[in-house]
Amino acid sequence: MPSITRRTALQLATAAAAGLPRFAIAQADTRPVITIAVQGIANTNTLDNLREQSNVGERTSLMFNERPIDLDYTGDLALRPGLATAWRRIDDATVELSLRPGVKFHNGDEMTAEDVAFRFSPAMAFGDTRPVVNGKTLPVAFSAIIGQSSKQVPAEVPPVARRLWPGLDRVEIVDRHTVRFVNATPDVTIEGRLAAMGSEIVSRRAFEAAATWLDYARKPVGTGPYKVREFTPDTALVLDAHDEYWGGRPPVRTIRLVQVPEVAARINGLLSGQYQFACDIPPDQIQTVEQNAAFEIQGGPILNHRMTTWDMHEPSLRDPRVRQAIGHAIDRQAIIDGLWAGRTRVPAGMQWEFFGDMFIADWKVPAFDPAKARGLLKAAGYKGEPIPYRLLNNYYTNQVATAQVLVEMWRQVGLNMQIQMVENWTQIRAKTSQRGVRDWSAGGTLNDPVGSIVSNFGPNGAAQQAGEYENAEFSRMCVVLETSADRALRRRAFKRMLEIAERDDPAYTILHQNATFTAKRRDIKWQAGPSFAMDFRPGRFAA
Amino acid sequence: MLRFLALRLARAGVTIVLVVTFAFVVLRLSGDPALTIMSPDAPPAALAAFRHEWGLDQPVWVQYLRYFGAILHGELGQSMRDGRPAMALVIERLPATLMLTVPALLLKIGLGVPAGIHAALHRNSMTDRVVMAGAVAGFTVPSFVLGLLLVLVFAVHLGWLPSGGDDSWRGAILPVVTLGLGGAGILARFTRSAMLEVLGQPYIRTASAKGVPWRLVVRGHALPNAAIPTVTVVGFMVGTLIAGAVVVESVFSWPGVGRLLVVAVSNRDLAVVQCVLLLVASTMVAANLTVDLLYGLLDPRLRGQATAGAH
C-alpha cells in the first residue's frame, strides 16, 4: 500500500481544490461546438485585415475582431455603435470617438485610446506613407521595407492602409476613452471608414509581445466574441468563446472553420452531419441541399456587384457607342433567373442603398434594348470585328456560364465577342495589342461611392492604373468626392460619375448584384446578412 | 558497381535540375504571385511593394540565377504567401500525406499482388474474370469519382465514416481505400500478366515434368521470375508517395502535401512548388535506384549486366 505523506496529502487537496471548480465550469458549459466548411479561410494566410482584404477574410474577421463603428448586418447596414459608443464631428476633417469603457481584449486587457491610436499608427499600418493630398497618393519608400521575420509590417500593408485611409493624418488621444481621427483634408467618409474592413482594433500590448508580425497576424488579439485558439493556414481556424465579451456571453463554445475547397465535399460533409454549416454553395446546388428537409439555404444578395469592363483603347471599343451597345444587349434578369434561381437582383448601377443620402435612387443600369444596341453599333460603324473576351474559369460564381450567355446576347445584336480562357489575373491584365472585355466585381467596402466607383475606376484605381480607362471629367469628379465636405456637391458629382461611367463614356456595365449562399441545418437558428461576414454574436445564434 | 551508382546519381541530378528549371520558367512566365496573393483589387502600390519585396520586379533570368544559387547553398527559399521557409511548410504537411499514401501502398500490394497471382493460377476461371473485372474497374474509375462514391455511401447514407478532414484516424479510411483500390487494380493486372508469361516458360514445364509439386514450382520458380515487372510498378508507386494523392487530398479535404502543392501552384508560390518538386523528384529517383538494385538481387543475370556495364 503506498504511503501518503502529509506533503502528498496537501498537494492532492490543493489539486482537487484547483481542479474541481474548472471541472464544474466545463460541465456547465452546454453551448454547442460548430464546424463551418468554407472554400477558403484566408488568401494571404494571415488574419490581419490590412493584409487580408478578401471576401473570405471578411467572413471570419468579425468573429474575433470589432471596429469602432458597427454596421447593422441584419438590417439596413446603417452605422451603429461598436467599440465606440458615440461619435461627433469636430470639423470637416476631424471625428471624435467616445470609446466603450470596460471592453476586454482576448488577453484580458482593457481596450483604451492607446490601442485605437496604435492601430492607425505608422508602426502598425501606414509605414512611412503620407496622407493623400489633392487626390494623389504618395509612393511608398521601399528603403523602409523589412522582411517577414521583422516586427515591421510587410511592405504591402502600408499601401493597403493608405487606400483605406488616404487622407488620415493622425489619431489623437484625448483621454483614456476618447480619440480624435484627424484627416489632412476634409472627408465626410471618416465614420464609414471606421466601420469598414481594415479598422479592426487589436491589442497594442499583444502586438508588441509577438515575436514577429506574422506571429501577431496569425493570432490577433481583438475584442470580438470569439478568440483565436489556433490558425493552421489552408486547413482550419479554431475560435473559442470570449466570455468577457462586452456584448454578452457568446452563444457558441467553439467555432471550427475548416477549409474544404471542393463544393461536393462541403455539401457531403453537411449532409453527413460532419459540418453544421457549408459556405459558398453555388446556386445550382441549392435544390440539391434543400431536397433534404433537414437542411436549408441562407443568404442572398451582398454588397458586391458583378460587372463587365473593358480596355477602352481596344480598336473596336474606342467609340463609346459600341460600349453603350454592350450594356443594352444584356438581358440581366434572364441571367438572374437562369443562373441564380432568381435569388439576386439587378442593382441601380454601382451603388448600394446603404450609401444613404448619396444613393441615387432613380438611377438605372442600361435597359435591355437589342434594337437600340444594333442602332448604336451601326452608327459607330462597327462591322463585327472580333473583340477578345478574356475569361477565368469560375473565379466568380457562375462566371463561365454567364460569359457564354453574354456572348450569345451580344451576338444577337451583332457584337462579335470571342472568349479566350486564361488561367490567372496576370493573363487577364496583360497589356497586349488586344485586351478587349473582361469580368470584374466591385464591393461596397464603405457607405460612400469613394469605396467603390472611385476606388476601382478613379485616378488611383486599378482600371486607370492599368490603362484600361480614362476620362478627365470623371477623374475630376473623383477628387470632388474624395475631398469635398459639401454633401450636395458630392451627390451631384457622384451622379455625374454614374452618367459618364455607365452611360456617356462607359467604363463598365453592371450585370447583377452578387450573392452568396450558406447551407445549414434547418434546426439551427441563424440568419445570414447582406455581406460575407458571418455573425455569431449573442442573439444571432440558437441551436 | 560504384561507377554504376555514380552514373545513376549523376543522371538523377540532371533530372532534378531539369525539373526545377522547367517549373521555374513555367510558373514565372504564366502568372504574377502578387495578383493572386494580394488579390487583383489590391492597390497598385501594394502590388509593387509586394513584387519588390520578393524580387519579382527583377528580370526572370536574374531571379533564376538567384534562386539556383540559393539552392546550391542549401537555401530553398521562403513561401511568399506564408512568410516561412518553404521546406518547413512541406515537412509540416508530409506526415499527413504519408498517413494516406503508406497504408494505401500496403493496401495496393496486399490486395493487388495476391489477386494477380490468384487470377493467373486460375486463368480463364470465374475467379480470374471477377478479379480482372475488379482490377479494370479499379484503375479506370478516376479517384475523384471513386472517392465521392465512397463518401456518398459510407458518410452520407450510412454515416459510418467522416466525409473528409483529418480530425481522427477514421477520416483516413476512405481516402486510403480510394487510393489503394486504384493501385491494387494496376498491380493485379501487372502481376497476373507477369505470372502468365512465366508460367508459360519451358523451365516451369520442366520442373513440373520432373515431379516437383506445383506449389513449389510456383513459389520457387514462377514467383521470383514474375517479381521483376511487379517490383518495377511498386517502385513507381513508392515514388509517388509524396505527391501521389493530390486529387484524393482535395476530395477529402486532407491537409497534405498534395493540397499544399495545388494551392502553391495556383498562387505561383514558387519556393513551395519547387520544394515539393525537389522532394518528389528525389523520391522518384531514389525509388528507381532502389528498384535497379533490387533487380540485381532478384535476378543474378541482371547483376552481372549492371557490373559489366559499369566496367
**pLDDT, tens digit, 9 for 90 and up, residues B180-194:** 998 899 999 999 999
Domain CATH for B235: 1.10.3720.10
Which among A265, A285, A300 is the end of a domain?
Answer: A300
Q: Quote the cell numbers at residue A34.
A: 460548430
Confidence band, pLDDT 50/70/90 cuts, at residue A8: low
With cut-offs at 50, 70 and 90, classify the pLDDT of residue A1.
very low
The larger pLDDT score, comparing residue A66 to residue B73, is at A66
State the pairing for strand pair A508-521/A277-278. Answer: antiparallel
Q: The dihedral of CA B38, B39, B42, B47: what is its sign? A: positive
* Contacts of residue A208, Cβ cutoff 8 Å, sequence gap at least 6: none
Q: Does residue A21 lie within any of the structural domains?
A: no
pTM of the model: 0.83
Place of cell 487580408: A52
Would residue B82 count as lying in a domain?
no
Total Cβ atoms within 10 A of residue A493: 21
DSSP H helices, A381-416, are 399-413
Q: What is the DSSP string of A93-154?
A: TEEEEEEPTT-B-TTSPBP-HHHHHHHTSIIIIITT----BTTBPPPP-GGG---TTSSSPP
Domain membership flag for residue B36: yes
Ramachandran category for residue A273: left, alpha or beta (phi over 0 → left; psi -120 to 50 → alpha): left
Grid coordinates 520432373 are at which residue? B210
Sign of the four-CA dihedral A369, A374, A377, A382: positive
User: What's the start-to-end Cα distance of chain A, in Å?
Assistant: 50
Output the pLDDT for position A434: 79
Rounded to an integer, the average pLDDT of B197-211 is 88
Cβ-Cβ contacts under 8 Å, B44 against chain A: 159, 460, 462, 465
* CB A461, CB A454: distance < 8 Å: yes
For residue range B104-128, list pLDDT tens digits in order: 999 999 999 999 999 999 988 998 9
- Based on the fold, state whether residues A394 and A249 are members of the same structural domain: no
Residue to mutate among A33, A36, A45, A52, with most B CBs inside 10 A, is A45
Task: For residue B100, give its domain range.
Answer: 88-310
Kindly indicate the confidence band of residue A428, based on its pLDDT and cuts at 50, 70 and 90.
Answer: confident
Residue A373 contacts by C-beta under 8 Å, 6 or more apart in sequence? A324, A325, A326, A328, A329, A413, A414, A415
Final residue before a domain boundary, out of B72, B97, B131: B72
Same domain, A501 and A446: yes
Q: Tell me which chain A residue has its CA closest to the CA of residue B39.
A: A54
Instruction: Choose the mutation target among A156, A425, A514 for the interface with B, i.e. most B CBs under 10 Å.
Output: A156
| Co-location of B67 and B108 in the same domain | no
Give the residue, B237 or A241, on which the prediction is more confident.
A241
Q: What is the ipTM of this complex?
A: 0.77
pLDDT at position A12 is: 52
Same domain, residue pair A85 and A168:
yes
Regarding whether A434 and A307 lie in a shared domain, the answer is: yes
Is B185 found in the same domain as B217? yes
* Residue A367 and residue A307 share a domain: yes
User: Are residues B50 and B98 both part of a single domain?
Assistant: no
Q: What is the mean pLDDT of residues A419-438?
A: 84
Q: With bands split at pLDDT 50, 70 and 90, how would you rate the model's confidence at A147?
A: very low
B153 and B27 within one domain: no
Task: For residues A104-120, give the mean pLDDT.
Answer: 96
- Could you say which of B53, B165, B266 has the minimum Cβ distance to residue A155? B53
Looking at per-residue confidence, does A134 or A154 come out higher? A154
Q: Is the pLDDT of residue B160 over 50?
A: yes
**CA B37 to the chain's CA centroid:** 28
| Mean pLDDT, range A340-358, rounded to an integer | 94
Helix (H) / strand (E) containing A515: strand A508-521
What is the reported pLDDT for B306?
A: 52
CA distance A257 to A238: 6
> CB-CB: which of A160, A232, A428 is closest to B43?
A160
What are the angstrom distances between the C-alpha of A245 and each of A99, A257, A526, B148?
A: 15, 20, 20, 42
Judgement on whether residues A456 and A346 belong to the same structural domain of the protein: yes
Question: What one-letter code names the amino acid at A112?
Answer: T
pLDDT at A137: 47
Count CB-CB contacts under 10 A for residue A496.
Answer: 16
Within a domain: A212: yes
A456 touches chain B (CB under 8 A): yes
CA distance A16 to A10: 10
Regarding whether B109 and B51 lie in a shared domain, the answer is no
Q: Is residue A308 part of a domain?
A: yes
Split at pLDDT 50, 70, 90, the class of B158 is: very high
For the segment A364-399, what is each residue's pLDDT rounded down to a tens digit? 999 999 999 999 999 999 999 999 999 988 888 899
Q: Examine residue B209 and state whether it is found in any structural domain, yes or no.
A: yes
Handedness of CA A272, A273, A275, A280 (dihedral sign): positive
The fraction of chain B above a pLDDT of 90, given in percent, is 27
User: Same domain, yes or no, for B160 and B11?
Assistant: no
Q: Is A17 part of any domain? A: no
Same-domain check for residues A176 and A77: yes
- Mean pLDDT computed over B128-135: 90
What is the band of A135 on the pLDDT scale with cuts at 50, 70, 90? low
Residue A12 lies in a domain: no
Contact A265 B36 (CB under 8 A): no
Q: Which of A56, A424, A465 to mutate to test the interface with B (most CBs of B within 10 A)?
A: A424
Residue B254 lies in a domain: yes
User: Beta strand A94-99 with A168-175: parallel, antiparallel or unpaired?
Assistant: unpaired
Shared domain check, B103 and B66: no
Closest CA to A299 of A317, A278, A319, A320: A278
Residues A452 and A431 in one domain: yes
Say whether pLDDT at A178 is over 90. yes
B25 and B57 fall within a common domain: yes
How many whole angstroms separate alpha carbon A251 and alpha carbon A267?
Answer: 25
pLDDT band for position B50 (50/70/90)?
A: confident
A539 falls within a domain: no
| CATH number of domain containing A507 | 3.10.105.10
Nearest to B191 by CA among B113, B134, B263, B137: B113
**What pLDDT score was predicted for residue B55?**
86
Chain B contact for A465, CB < 8 A?
A: yes
In chain A, positions 118-177, which contact chain B (CB-CB < 8 Å)?
137, 139-140, 142, 145, 147-149, 154-160, 162-163
B81 is a domain residue: no
Last residue of a domain, one of B44, B72, B100: B72
pLDDT at A142: 35
Closest approach of B77 to chain A, Cα-based (Å): 12
| CA pair distance B142, A263, nearest whole angstrom | 18
Question: Looking at the partner chain, which of B31, B42, B155 has a beta carbon nearest the beta carbon of A160?
Answer: B42
Residue B98: per-residue pLDDT? 92
State the total domains in chain B. Answer: 2
Beta carbons of A262 and B250 less than 8 Å apart: yes
Q: Which of A230-239, A307-316, B3-12 has the lowest mean pLDDT?
A: B3-12
Look up the domain containing A68 and give its range.
40-217
Co-location of B19 and B65 in the same domain:
yes
Q: For the packed helices A370-380 and A320-328, what is the interaxial angle rounded to 10 degrees?
A: 160
Does residue B98 share a domain with residue B227?
A: yes
> Looking at A224-233, A297-306, B276-285, which range is the least confident one?
B276-285
The CATH number of whichever domain residue A240 belongs to comes to 3.40.190.10
Rounded CA-CA distance A191/A180 in Å is 12
Q: Does A271 touch chain B (CB under 8 A)?
A: yes
The mean predicted confidence, pLDDT, of chain A is 89
Nearest-Cα residue of chain B relative to residue A51: B38
Say if residue A194 is in the same domain as residue A235. no
The answer to whether residue A193 sits within a structural domain is yes
How many residues comprise chain B?
A: 311
Beta strands, E only, A166-225: 168-175, 178-183
Looking at residue A367, the DSSP 8-state letter turns out to be P
pLDDT of A149 reads 45
What 3 state SS string does A17-69 have? HHHHHHHHHHHHCCCCEEEEEECCCCCCCCCCCCCCCCHHHHHHHHHHCCCCE
A139-166: average pLDDT: 64
Domain shared by B34 and B143, yes or no: no
CB contact (8 A) between residue A424 and residue B259: no
CATH code of residue A52: 3.90.76.10
| Cα distance between residue A485 and residue A159, in whole Å | 24
Q: What is the DSSP letter of B85?
A: B
In a domain, B121, yes or no: yes
Looking at the domain assignment, is residue B77 inside a domain?
no
Q: Are B249 and B162 in contact (CB under 8 A)?
A: no
Does the beta-carbon distance from B46 to A159 stay under 8 Å?
Answer: yes
Last residue of a domain, one of B72, B104, B124: B72
- B68 lies in the same domain as B109: no
- Chain A residues with CB inside 8 Å of B53's CB? 145, 147, 154-156
Number of domains chain A contains: 3
Does residue A437 fall inside a structural domain? Answer: yes
pLDDT at B266: 81
Name the band, by pLDDT with cuts 50, 70 and 90, for residue A134. Answer: low
Same domain, A254 and A380: no
Judgement on whether residues A414 and A363 belong to the same structural domain of the protein: yes
Q: Which of A113, A16, A19 is nearest to A68 (CA)?
A: A113
Q: Do A285 and A267 contact (CB within 8 A), yes or no?
A: yes
